[in-house]
Structure 1
Amino acid sequence: MKLRVRLPKTAAIQEVVLDDDTPWVQLLMILSSQLSTSPHHLKILGGFPPRPIVPDDELLMLSAIVRDGDMLTVQVGEAVMKQGATDGKYVPPADDRGLFFRRTMPGDNSCLFHACAYILKDKSRSLGPSLRQECADVVLSNPGKFTTALLGQPPSQYVQWIRQPSSWGGAVELMVLSFVYQTEIIALDIESGTMQRFGETEGYSVRGFVVYTGNHYDAISVSNPLKSSGLDRDDQVLFNPRDDRILERAVRFVREERKGAARK
């Protein structure tokens, strides 16, 4: 059985491969070892919307609790969980002195996937193509959610289309990636000044931003030039969705970008 696992303080996804008859408690032991904490301090969320997984018996086999390919979110702490939410995941507060930066992505027809990889894959500059493939896989495995009406074409045709490197990503792909990574994604349009939000009603505990110019997507990050090197590795790309200040500052940043573009 292959499980996709997201640990606290990161958007990166790791794969854990175990036998179907592995006891649930063994998975807890593996994860607690990675996090240097007690298995009793772990909270595991799964499904959609994410809900705590609390087996009646920790010796139950994995196959009785989860399915191959499931996404699990790991949290650490004793906080009471609210069903259907991921509020317990820790997101560091944004630096009030940090500045917004627009991280430019390649203009190779996959800019949306590159931008999303930057915010969802720990500032990766190389994993955009894997997100394109992931969109196709998720649509195929969730026919009840991603319907013909939602996609604008039958899922089989959509999958064939989106797998082509020349196909542009847009709102549908942002919705799919928000679902997969349990992250609210806000797309800010420089040209129109409008905002599109994906996953905002799902109770996700992290938020990321991308910016759209009309024909290109880039990522938005926050970094304090007085404390950091200014390199990608020091960027903060995920934020608390309840922090309205960050949203307001992101909107102002894009507004200034729009003014700057108009002056050129």
Structure 2
Amino acid sequence: MDESVVMRRIIPADNSCLFNAVGYVMEHNKSKSSELREVIAATVISDPESYNEAFLGKPNGDYCQWILNPEKWGGAIELAILSAYYRREIAAYDIQTTRCDLYGQDKSYQERVMVIYDGLHYDALALAPFAGAPEDVDQTVFKVDKYGHIGPAERLAVKLVEESHRNRKFTDTASFTLRCGICQEGVVGQKEAVEHAKLTGHTNFQEFR
């Protein structure tokens, strides 16, 4: 009997979780953040027409400086660039909505990796031969078939996401409460956190209830 499971491999919460999650699923390396930030900055600065201010939300040069800062978080733009860099699809599962955003889907890539997002943090997803298996036997890269699927790992990933959603293993970013780690001011929701960061330059937040 096949006891394979999709495991959520925890990535340190150091503001670079997206990059290190991608590093793990692509290369089994959780310390790729600085290198992958440089890849993204080089990609963006080399194509100012595609990566313009309207697309990035800030001027091209400002964005490049911003993404190189290890305190800054990544998201959809960075996942799309990393998918192209590795020439693999990246499936990003959102626990709160149970949605899967697939990056690189239109590029005819032959392989896919998977990450999971809880509203604040990215972790890696891996197929293990049994629950509790060590990371060194993880499979993180999967062949995409002609129908756009990757076999049992896809179904097991969806099952894990749905279970995590039922158990509310996510942060509702519209109503979560944070405390600034620098000045200790409390804010509610992502919008207030962004405004506080703009006003003060403080970007070190911790969730509290």
TM-score by length of 2: 0.73
- 2:118 counterpart of 1:213: yes
Once residues 2 and 39 of structure 2 are traced to their aligned partners in structure 1, the CA distance between those partners, rounded to angstroms, is 35
Residues 1-264 of structure 1: matches in 2 within 5 Å?
97-120=3-26, 122-225=27-130, 230-242=133-145, 243-261=150-168
Once residues 145 and 246 of structure 1 are traced to their aligned partners in structure 2, the CA distance between those partners, rounded to angstroms, is 34
Deviations 1:55-110 (A, max 9, x none): xxxxxxxxxxxxxxxxxxxxxxxxxxxxxxxxxxxxxxxx9542110001111111
Q: How far has the Cα of 1:232 moved from its partner?
A: 1.7
Q: Which amino acid aligns with 1:184?
A: E
Q: How far has the Cα of 1:148 moved from its partner?
A: 2.7
Residues 96 and 202 (structure 1), Cα distance of their counterparts in 2 relative to 1, 3 Å cut: farther
Secondary structure in 1 matching 2:101: strand
**What value does the CA root-mean-square deviation take over the aligned residues?**
2.0
* Contiguous gaps of at least 5 residues in structure 1: 1-94
Once residues 127 and 247 of structure 1 are traced to their aligned partners in structure 2, the CA distance between those partners, rounded to angstroms, is 25
Once residues 173 and 159 of structure 1 are traced to their aligned partners in structure 2, the CA distance between those partners, rounded to angstroms, is 11
* Contiguous gaps of at least 5 residues in structure 2: 170-209
Q: Is the 8 A contact 1:191 1:213 kept in 2?
A: yes
Once residues 92 and 2 of structure 2 are traced to their aligned partners in structure 1, the CA distance between those partners, rounded to angstroms, is 22
Q: Is the 8 A contact 1:188 1:195 kept in 2?
A: yes
Number of equivalences: 165
Once residues 135 and 68 of structure 2 are traced to their aligned partners in structure 1, the CA distance between those partners, rounded to angstroms, is 28
Once residues 2 and 56 of structure 2 are traced to their aligned partners in structure 1, the CA distance between those partners, rounded to angstroms, is 39
Once residues 96 and 131 of structure 1 are traced to their aligned partners in structure 2, the CA distance between those partners, rounded to angstroms, is 35
More RCO (CA 8 Å, sep 6+): 2
Higher helix share: 2
Q: Is the 8 A contact 1:114 1:129 kept in 2?
A: no
Once residues 144 and 197 of structure 1 are traced to their aligned partners in structure 2, the CA distance between those partners, rounded to angstroms, is 24
Q: How far has the Cα of 1:187 moved from its partner?
A: 0.7
Compare 106-115 and 244-253 and name the one that shifted more: 244-253
Residues 146 and 97 (structure 1), Cα distance of their counterparts in 2 relative to 1, 3 Å cut: farther
Once residues 142 and 10 of structure 2 are traced to their aligned partners in structure 1, the CA distance between those partners, rounded to angstroms, is 20
Query: What residue is the counterpart of 1:50 in the other structure?
Result: none
Residues 149 and 241 (structure 1), Cα distance of their counterparts in 2 relative to 1, 3 Å cut: farther
Secondary structure in 2 matching 1:201: helix
Residues 252 and 225 (structure 1), Cα distance of their counterparts in 2 relative to 1, 3 Å cut: closer
Q: Is the 8 A contact 1:105 1:115 kept in 2?
A: yes
Compare 235-244 and 161-170 and name the one that shifted more: 235-244
Residues 232 and 244 (structure 1), Cα distance of their counterparts in 2 relative to 1, 3 Å cut: closer
Deviations 1:191-229 (A, max 9, x none): 121121110010001101110000000000001038xx8
Which has more radius of gyration? 1
Once residues 117 and 87 of structure 2 are traced to their aligned partners in structure 1, the CA distance between those partners, rounded to angstroms, is 21
Once residues 221 and 245 of structure 1 are traced to their aligned partners in structure 2, the CA distance between those partners, rounded to angstroms, is 12
Once residues 154 and 48 of structure 2 are traced to their aligned partners in structure 1, the CA distance between those partners, rounded to angstroms, is 33
